[in-house]
Structure 1
Amino acid sequence: MSPHPVALITGASRGIGRAIADELGSTHHLLLGGRDLSALAELSSSFPSAEPFAAELRDAGQVAAAVAGIPRLEVLVHSAGVLRMGSVAELSDDAWRESFEVNVFAVASLTRALLPALRSARGQVIAINSGSGYSSGAGSSVYSGTKFALRALTDALRDEERAHGVRVSSIHPGRVATDMQEELHAWEGKDYRPEAWIQPGQVARAVRLAVDATPESTIETLSIRPSGITLEGG
């Protein structure tokens, strides 16, 4: 058993998840979530205390096997997600199904499986939501739909788990400079300038704020928006 508090981060191999791992790596034993065991093992070696948490989150059997050896868990960060864009008229049933399975159902399933460990540690659940969890527009029906649902899930979970000492935070970043953002710009037919958007490290610092909240307080929701300020040389 690691002497450090334990943090499980899904989607830890890139983007926001990787930035959160970098942020928490100095203070926590990390369980790095993803599907590629060899890649996660290599990534684990770059942290003071870390190990892979390899599982397809939509597979209940894999999730059950992966969580079996976790007796306590101080922090569970849900960062894995998919982005599917398109109009209601053109999006297929498969696109809707995959989006909700990854962005909502897998979050509920993994959280449920880890609640005993979280309750034992009086731990925290932190969901990386989105600005799309508050508003939607043309082309974002399925993605926003999943993020609205994720907000409802975390709001309910917060009330349900309060009596068990588990705190629940929902982080809502706007557009973040990740591979997903580059794909979104390509879909929109726009030039992508990563320096114009929120950096993953800023979202990770918001997670740190939630993690470091003292036990009598909770960062329930936190919204991070692009400032719109034009950077020098931009």
Structure 2
Amino acid sequence: MDLQLNGKTAVVTGGSKGIGLAVVRLLQEEGVSVVAASRRTTPELEETKATHVAVDLTTAEGASHLIERATAELGGIDLLVNNVGVGDADDFLRGTASLTDLPDDAWRHTFDLHFYSALWVTRAALPSLVERRGTVVNVSSIAARLMSSGAADYSVSKAALNALTKIIAEQYGEQGVRANSVSPGPVSTGVWTDPDGVLARMAKAQGASHEDFVKQTLQGLDSSTGRISTPEEVARLIVFAASPNNITGAELIVDGGIIKEL
């Protein structure tokens, strides 16, 4: 299928690994020129030959710097994928504390990373997106719908990101800008697979093996497919959402059937 993206330009945040790296690769396959942003590059990102901007997106200044660099490199921005997130395993695990034990600085850091980074980058990119009738894809999470377990600050920040997506779609739709969220469930990235990742550390704390803990967690989430998604599967949905269509203000879910409510 030709997604009609050849010749377009894109900015992908969190593009050095995992879902972001898969998005960079797939966009390039579709003929898109890509600027990838992350704190550090990786050998895998360097292999793509995408332009890398080393930046801290937990600050408004970092977001402005990214868009200035990207605009200079690309000439303008057609597609923006706000994917940066999760961060350090310690941050995520700290979020599993109760409301009375989770300090304000944890909430602020999580919102800076997952919500404000998308707000700041989108706001900086909007003049170009409006000019080119562009598209925003915010990478959210089914955690925004599952409040019973996991990191509370992460879940709430992703719920806020979904709301921001709808606001962008509503306020800028008449100017030709579309905005959608893509919400993955468990994905085979470092959070789930790294030997020192979030799931591995939770397994160790409970005296379980990493493999057994992953299986147990999936069973608890009641995944219909019984497996986690790959970064490439999530990337395909993100790139489709970025392609020309009439979908906007929507949340697109790729979770193996964990979310069962209408």
Give the TM-score normalised by the residue count of structure 1: 0.85
Cα distance between partner residues in 2 of 1:72 and 1:8:
10
Q: Is the 8 A contact 1:210 1:219 kept in 2?
A: no
Tell me, what secondary structure is at the counterpart of 2:192? helix
- The corresponding residue for 2:122 is 111
Aligned residues between the structures: 221
- The corresponding residue for 2:11 is 8
Superposed, 1:12-91 pairs within 5 Å as 12-26=15-29, 27-36=31-40, 39=41, 45-47=46-48, 50-69=50-69, 70=71, 71-82=75-86, 83-84=92-93, 85-86=95-96, 87-91=98-102
Tell me whether 1:203 sits opposite 2:234 in the alignment: yes
Amino acid at match of 1:28: V
**CA distances 1:154-207 after superposition (whole Å, capped 9, x unpaired):** 111110110111100100111111112243323542534599311111000101
Cα distance between partner residues in 2 of 1:167 and 1:186:
38
**CA distances 1:108-166 after superposition (whole Å, capped 9, x unpaired):** 01110110011111110001100012221134311111111111111111101101111
Greater shift, 132-141 or 116-125, is seen at 132-141
**CA distances 1:50-81 after superposition (whole Å, capped 9, x unpaired):** 21122111233333233224142111001111
Q: Give unpaired runs (5+ residues) of structure 1.
A: 229-234
Amino acid at match of 1:196: R
Over aligned residues, Cα RMSD in angstroms?
2.3
Cα distance between partner residues in 2 of 1:133 and 1:122:
28
- The corresponding residue for 2:112 is 101
Q: Is the 8 A contact 1:75 1:211 kept in 2?
A: yes
Q: Is the 8 A contact 1:44 1:51 kept in 2?
A: no
Q: CA deviation at 1:227?
A: 5.0
Q: Which runs of 4+ in 1 moved over 6 A?
A: none
Q: CA deviation at 1:217?
A: 4.2
Tell me, what secondary structure is at the counterpart of 2:15? coil
Q: Give unpaired runs (5+ residues) of structure 2.
A: 1-5, 87-91, 216-225
Amino acid at match of 1:184: V
Cα distance between partner residues in 1 of 2:110 and 2:138:
16
Identity of aligned residues (%): 28
Q: CA deviation at 1:44?
A: 5.4
- The corresponding residue for 2:218 is none
Superposed, 1:81-230 pairs within 5 Å as 81-82=85-86, 83-84=92-93, 85-86=95-96, 87-182=98-193, 183-189=197-203, 191-192=210-211, 196-214=227-245, 216-218=246-248, 220-227=250-257
Greater shift, 77-86 or 119-128, is seen at 77-86
Amino acid at match of 1:129: S
Cα distance between partner residues in 2 of 1:121 and 1:93:
39
Q: 1:198 to 1:19 in 2, by over 3 A?
A: same
Tell me, what secondary structure is at the counterpart of 1:196? coil
Give the TM-score normalised by the residue count of structure 2: 0.76
Cα distance between partner residues in 2 of 1:138 and 1:169:
25
Cα distance between partner residues in 2 of 1:184 and 1:171:
22
